Amino acid sequence: MSDSDLIRVISFNLKRDFGIPLNHTHKWGERRALAAQFIRESGATIIGVQELLPNMREDVGRLLDVDYSILGFGRFRGLKPKDDEHSDIIIKNQEAKVSLIKTFWLSKSPEKLSRAYYAVFPRICTVAEVYIKRLDRSIRVFNTHLDHICGIARLLGVQVILDYMEKYQQQRPLPTILMGDFNCKPSSKPVQFLRNYAADRSGLHLTDVYTRFDPSCLSNTLHNFSGKIRKGACPIDYIFVSDEFEIIDSQIVTDPINGLYPSDHYPLLATLRLKDTPSDLEYTE
């Protein structure tokens, strides 16, 4: 196995820009260069980001320049420009290109701007079909940010995402990744539902990358800019992969950059390898 066989993916909540927090080093203007630096230095081909406001999106796009593409649409579809939070997918252009990009809502009306009855805000999921150039293979990536208050809304959100996964698998089976800030512990109903899910119609089964962790090494992913690592604490950020992937490694990246943190969340990084399967997954324009 060589590095050329591997795909690195990251789930990263960037902490939305609320304006002026108590500590000036937590302002987005102080963090944006750190976030872009981390993305570049991570070696990741695919990065799912959450809490990305339009002004933050512009900054990240400018700092990453033409080397990366930021894909997705805001939860208010542009109707509230300053508060139109994105759950976008970033790809490294040298290594990948996209043939499909779509954002849907985690509600009973997922094709239009809407929210689940119990959700505080509209919640969205972005899906992209990504062609990995060096592997000559396509994969499907979902990136989301579940509700931060209501467990019922989180469970509904997971069920909506799985419905879309099944629909896409019936149209064109592809190796699948689901990532995001789920705002819930590994023992929660949404995470357990995903772990135990196996759809007869699509044959889809998902495994989260924490299975590669020694349980004693599992820690928090939310640190509120403290930099604290609590062994045995529960993460709230996840990456799930379908059975076509081998999970080579995964880690919660806790190292600061120049003594500072680009977000109040630690990024979750997974190194994956696509297993050898019949090659019917070639890219089509």
SS3 250: strand
Residue that wins the pLDDT comparison between 282 and 25? 25
Instruction: Flag whether pLDDT at 158 surpasses 90.
Output: yes
In a domain, 281, yes or no: no
- Residue-wise pLDDT tens digits, 198-247: 765 567 899 999 988 877 778 999 999 999 999 878 999 999 999 999 99
Structurally, the chain folds into a number of domains equal to 1
Q: Are 88 and 143 in contact (CB under 8 A)?
A: yes
**What whole-number percentage of the chain has pLDDT above 90?**
80
In a domain, 26, yes or no: yes
Q: What is the average per-residue pLDDT within 148-158?
A: 95
How would you label 123-148 residue by residue, b for 16+ Cβ within 10 Å and e otherwise?
Answer: bbbbbbbbbbeebebbbbbbbbbbbb
In a domain, 284, yes or no: no
In a domain, 7, yes or no: yes
Report pLDDT for 218: 87
- Residue-wise pLDDT tens digits, 35-90: 999 999 999 999 999 999 999 999 999 999 999 999 999 999 888 888 999 999 99
Domain of residue 156 covers 3-274
Q: What is the average per-residue pLDDT within 92-111?
A: 97
In a domain, 254, yes or no: yes
In a domain, 282, yes or no: no
pTM of the predicted protein model: 0.94
Backbone angles phi, psi at 271, to 5 degrees: -105, 120
Residue that wins the pLDDT comparison between 202 and 163? 163
In a domain, 115, yes or no: yes
Q: Are 72 and 87 in contact (CB under 8 A)?
A: yes
In a domain, 285, yes or no: no
Report pLDDT for 285: 44
Confidence tier at 281 by pLDDT (50, 70, 90): very low
Three-class secondary structure assignment of 93-118: CCCEEEEEEEEEECCCCCCCCCCCCC
CATH code at 187?
Answer: 3.60.10.10
Instruction: Flag whether pLDDT at 21 surpasses 60.
Output: no
